[in-house]
Amino acid sequence: MLVVGLSHRTAPVEVRERLAAGADALPELLARLASRRELAEVMFLSTCNRVEVFALPKAADGVDAALAAIRDELAHHGGAVSGDALAAYQYQKRDEEAVRHLFRVAASLDSMVLGEPQILGQVKEAYDAALAAGTLKSLLGRCVSRAFAVAKRVRTETSIGAGTVSIASVAVELAWRVFGGLGDHAVLLVGAGEMAEAAARSLGNGARALHICNRSFDRAATLAGTLNASAVPWDSLAAELVQADVVVTSTASPTFVVTHEMVKRAMKARKGRTLLFVDIAVPRNVEPSVHGIDNVYVFNVDDLEQEVARGMKARQAEREAAERIVDDEVAQFLAWTRGLQVQPTVVAMRAKTRAVLLSELERSLGGRLKHLEGDRAALTQMVDSAVNKLLHAPTTRLKARAADGDDAGELALAIRFLFDLQEVGVAPEGESSSDAVPDAVGDEPLPH
Amino acid sequence: MTIDLANWLFVATAASYFAASVIFIAELLGRAGRAGPWAARLVALGVPLHAAQIVVWSLVLHVCPVEGIHFSLSVASMLACLAYVLARLRYRVDVVGAFVAPQALAFLLASRFVGPVNDEPRLRSALLPFHVAANLLGVALFTMAFAAAVAYLLQESRLKHKRFAGASRLPPIDALDRAEHGFLVAGFPLLTIGILTGTLWAREIEAGGAAAIARACLSYASWALIGGVLLLRAAAGWRGRRAAFGTILGFGLTLLVLVTYLVRSFGQVAAPGGVPA
């Protein structure tokens, strides 16, 4: 298995955005990649932080050609970015490292924000798109679906997704701790900058009402239009404090915009109803003593960042445990794929043994067997049982040798020689191409 | 057979409340893990067991469950748990169970060891069942209000000191405030009925001992305090901390009234046949 791509770790956003592909562009892109004779299976993952192509080469000795084909297609897709320029930002991994990379990506261990849950959904979308385009068959498909299981295991067995790790999500968390939900509460945005917008997008979602109050009414009205909110004039800020339950402040004012006296008066008019301030402005917009007023809570950017840092620290502490799970899953997956390499030999050995036994049975009973329909089923079952018992030990030992990573090729070769399997048309191990793999994959359960 | 059943129900109820209390406390300490949701379920399981225990035990002893202090504590704690189970449908106040479940367990155990029912003919009156029933329901609701007030103060302290770590284990502060107010509003009319019927009953039986007067004073004081908390909230916006402290104090006074009954009950055990004060 292979992966070629670039991510937030290796490429700036200007490069990533050139290679990104939306849902509409994916079918064509996948079709083009799949049409390359070097590639047997392909999946294209495109998020705001990464663009990656996961693929299975058509032939075991065609890995370099497959990598080159993917790089070509990426360069072609990137358009203005030349292949050479792209190479500086790209990474490529193969075999164990590629599997590990996919598992780590799905488990959000390679994300910009460790443990963020969106990436798993994005990998699922890429998987669905590849399935719909018919570019995923069995081996890569099984690897991706295994990656989902790994991500789930990491989330269940560690606290990698716990805590809040962005200012906006901390603000939402605070609003929950104070109000439970914002369905019955109004949010007031004081200021209309980028930070305010980001917080408003999180907080305003689900709030009863979202009002935007800015010194420039036009700017407030423009932002209100994009957020499905209503703009209010700057002069009515004091009156708005009576109506709002959550106030997000982010103006560039060098002095306090919300003062102690202002809030004191508002609280009297509110009859003591709880009021939450999320002050993300620097310098601060809300006078610190406001936090001392009964039923009023003020959290500034330091408080929020402290919580973000705590969340990040908690997640980092879980990284080691998560990496151990990934290592364990990679080992299991590789053992399973190694087992697949001897699968054609196992299938051929069993088929030949069964054919010989059935043939001998026919010969011994002569023409009588065709007249004994009831006994025929029982006799066939007996032959199957004999095949199972006879070949159980060689089958399990061959698979165990392959799963352990030992060279099972020689053993498989010996079996083919001893059983004279060439006669039943089994391809040599080295040529157990991806064409042969899908059928075998379907029969062989992944270890748990 | 019936006594065995009553005992079995008593043990099962106590076990439910005990397990719920342990899980609730573990939850507050952040160590309940996956057992967390079971705490409230165990309280919900305890309520029908507890109700059945009260019915069977009252049949065994041939007494009405709302007469005398013997069952009152047990009935009050059962009603508090029932109020908790119902309140969870409206408010996000799961953690209130951390106060209700241990209290229910304590009252259930206490009901087993207090003195016999006061069956003195002089104290019998048609008003007595109304008085006891109203007070029991009132106490149950004030127990919930008290628990919500304590949880409110804990959450408020965490938010004011910006200690986020444990704050998420408690319900949202606004939900606690609204729940506390809701329980007080529901409990206050019952307390009023309890005090009115109690006053009339005391007049009927011509009670006038020092203990009876003290009990009456405490009852009036708790009624005035809780009434004041509700009035100030409506008129002057007294919410949050002040309302929580008022609720805790009001509940404390109500509890003191119960304690005076208990003391009288123990007095009867100590001196059988004695006339209660």
> Is pLDDT above 70 for A371?
no
Q: Choose the closest CB to A178 out of B172, B241, B242.
A: B172
Which residues of B are less than 8 Å from A274 in CB distance? 173-174, 177, 239-240
Which residues of A are less than 8 Å from B238 in CB distance? 272
> Is pLDDT above 60 for B120?
no
- The CA distance from A36 to A38, in Å, is 5
How much is the average pLDDT of B77-99? 81
The greatest distance separating any two alpha carbons of chain A, rounded to the nearest whole angstrom, comes to: 108
Number of structural domains found in chain B:
1
Listed range (A440-444, B110-114, B171-175) with the worst mean pLDDT: A440-444
Strand A186-190 with A246-249, pairing: parallel
pLDDT digits (tens, 9 = 90+) for A210-241: 999 999 999 899 988 888 889 999 999 999 99
Number of H helices, E strands in chain A: 17, 10
Q: Choose the closest CB to B164 out of A274, A295, A307.
A: A307
How much is the average pLDDT of B193-222? 79
Would you state the pLDDT for residue A314?
84
Would you state the pLDDT for residue A239?
94
* 3 state DSSP class of B117: coil
Would you state the pLDDT for residue A66?
93
Would you state the pLDDT for residue B49?
92
Would you state the pLDDT for residue A448?
47
Listed range (A46-50, A353-357, B135-139) with the worst mean pLDDT: B135-139
CB A234 within 8 A of CB A226: no
Strand A39-46 with A91-94, pairing: unpaired
Would you state the pLDDT for residue A228?
84
Would you state the pLDDT for residue A424?
43
The percentage of residues in chain B with a pLDDT greater than 90, rounded to a whole number, is 18
Q: Choose the closest CB to B237 out of A272, A297, A310.
A: A272
Listed range (A40-44, A410-414, B132-136, B175-179) with the worst mean pLDDT: B132-136
Which residues of A are less than 8 Å from B173 in CB distance? 177-178, 274
CB B250 within 8 A of CB B55: no
Tokens 């949701």 sit on residue: B37
CB contact under 8 A, B237 and A270: yes
User: Which residues are CB-neighbours of A447 under 8 A, at least 6 positions away?
Assistant: A332, A335, A336
Would you state the pLDDT for residue A29?
92
Domain membership flag for residue B265: yes
Give the highest mean pLDDT range of A143-147, A387-391, B92-96, B118-122: A143-147
Residues of chain B whose beta carbon is less than 8 angstroms from a beta carbon of chain A are 92, 155, 159-160, 162, 164-165, 167-168, 171-175, 177, 233, 236-242
How much is the average pLDDT of A257-271? 94
Would you state the pLDDT for residue B277?
31
Domain membership flag for residue B232: yes
Listed range (A46-60, A330-344, B99-113, B222-236) with the worst mean pLDDT: B99-113
**Closest CA–CA distance from residue B149 to any residue of chain A (Å):** 14
CB contact under 8 A, B239 and A272: yes
> What b/e string do you get for A340-361 counting C-beta neighbours within 10 Å, with b at 16 or more?
bbbbbbbbbbbebbbeebbeee
> Is pLDDT above 70 for B269?
no
For residue A211, list its beta bridge partners: A188, A230
Would you state the pLDDT for residue B67?
59
Nearest CA in chain B to A291: B160
Confidence of residue A429 (pLDDT cuts 50, 70, 90): very low
pLDDT digits (tens, 9 = 90+) for A89-109: 999 999 999 999 999 999 999
Domain boundaries, chain A: 2-162, 167-306, 336-443
Average pLDDT of the residues of chain A: 85
Would you state the pLDDT for residue A367?
66
Report CA Rg, chain B.
19
Burial class from Cβ neighbours inside 10 Å (0-12, 13-18, 19+) for residue A226 reads exposed
How much is the average pLDDT of A175-180? 86
Fold topology of A167-306:
Rossmann fold (3.40.50)
CB B255 within 8 A of CB B209: no
pTM given for the model: 0.62
Would you state the pLDDT for residue A120?
92
> Is pLDDT above 80 for A385?
yes
CB A197 within 8 A of CB A219: no
Tokens at residue A366, please?
Answer: 């002569």
**Closest CA–CA distance from residue A269 to any residue of chain B (Å):** 9
Q: Does domain A2-162 have CATH number 3.30.460.30?
A: yes
Would you state the pLDDT for residue B194?
85
ipTM over 0.85: no
How much is the average pLDDT of B229-253? 90
The residue of A159, A185, A294 whose CB has the most chain B CBs within 10 angstroms, and thus the best one to mutate to test that interface, is: A294
Confidence of residue A79 (pLDDT cuts 50, 70, 90): confident
- The CA distance from B102 to B21, in Å, is 5
- Domain residue limits at B111: 2-270
Report CA Rg, chain A.
31
CB B15 within 8 A of CB B53: no
Residue A54: DSSP 8-state: E
